[in-house]
Structure 1
């Protein structure tokens, strides 16, 4: 299958490498391919230059967001939450009729708030939207012809693509969306990644809870030790 990954950060790279390993044709989208390839310094998360990653993964093709979306039969959104709606809206024509799996978190970095939450990298970002809306719903409203599924967001992406690395894979992945076929495509991909416990939370409004879980995920990670990989299991 031709799969487009929108984004070039660490999470996107986990999917790129795994999908290529599984034999898919992978197309990667970035805002400005020339600028992306010209970078020589790590990003804010310490992820190395994308050109070095490409050199280690021959056959991966880099495009603009719109061109990558045009090539993909299935699209995965790894664009940062603050810019996702605008960037995806600019590729609305190329995304029409396709399944878009969104794992972005609507973080607002360096918030000026009364009671900040200190973390190992600075103040914990706030979420916007929150409670009464979600980034996934905003994307769906902006792209009514695209079938949006929220998934992957409750886990680190390198664990999403290798669930058996934690607890032998005995933990739960969540998804939400309005289109049954799009959700089945997402389940099929997760199954290929190795997930055995996939819980459909229902309509896309459930993305609100999935995105807000990001703070609890961080708190658990701090308690276990920063960088520790873990999973959440729903016992029923």
Structure 2
């Protein structure tokens, strides 16, 4: 299958590598391919330059967001940062029409100037915008009425999404939400290929609000366990 991954950060790289390992043709999208390839310093999360990643993964092609989405025959993964996702995706609405878009972005606002900040070992914790009365997933769906948006992957580090058995032998839960049953089935199929055995459909896309807000809880657990510790969440029935 031809799958597009939009973004070049650590999460996107996890999906790119895993999809290629599974035998899919992967097209990667970025805002400016030449600028991305020209970078020689690690990104804000410490990932090495993307040019190095491409050298280690022959056969992966780098395109603009629109050109990458156009190559997909039905499935696109959104790894664009939450603050810029709606604008970037709206600009390629035609290339995304008729396709399933998996959105795992969190609508973080970094370095917020707020009255009661949440201090963390790496600075002030980001805040969520939107929150409660809307979600980034819903905003993306409204911006892309011809695309089936499925919120998924967002409650785990992406390295764990593509390798669930690395935590508790895979005995934890992945959540998905969206309006279209066929699109959610397509996403569930990809999760099964990744190794997930417990996929819980939360229903309509409005439940993306809960998934996105969970990001703060996930961060709190991570800080309690020790920064860099990967873990899973399981719904016990």
TM-score, normalised with respect to structure 1: 1.00
Q: Tell me the residue number matched to 2:141.
A: 140
Unpaired stretches in structure 2, ≥5 consecutive residues = none
Q: Tell me the residue number matched to 1:10.
A: 10
Equivalent position SS for 1:222: helix
1:58 shift after superposition? 0.1
1:121 shift after superposition? 1.4
Deviations 1:82-128 (A, max 9, x none): 00000000000000000000000000000001111111211000000
Alignment of 1:85-100 (within 5 A): 85-100=86-101
Q: Tell me the residue number matched to 1:20.
A: 20
Unpaired stretches in structure 1, ≥5 consecutive residues = none
Alignment of 1:97-176 (within 5 A): 97-176=98-177
115-124 vs 92-101, which moves further: 115-124
Q: Tell me the residue number matched to 1:230.
A: 231
TM-score, normalised with respect to structure 2: 0.99
Alignment RMSD, CA only?
Answer: 0.4
Q: Tell me the residue number matched to 2:31.
A: 31
Equivalent position SS for 2:4: strand
Once residues 163 and 103 of structure 1 are traced to their aligned partners in structure 2, the CA distance between those partners, rounded to angstroms, is 16
1:9 shift after superposition? 0.1
Equivalent position SS for 1:8: coil
Deviations 1:129-174 (A, max 9, x none): 0000000000000000000000000000000000000000000000
Once residues 23 and 123 of structure 2 are traced to their aligned partners in structure 1, the CA distance between those partners, rounded to angstroms, is 39
The runs of 4+ residues in structure 1 deviating greater than 6 Å are none
1:189 shift after superposition? 0.2
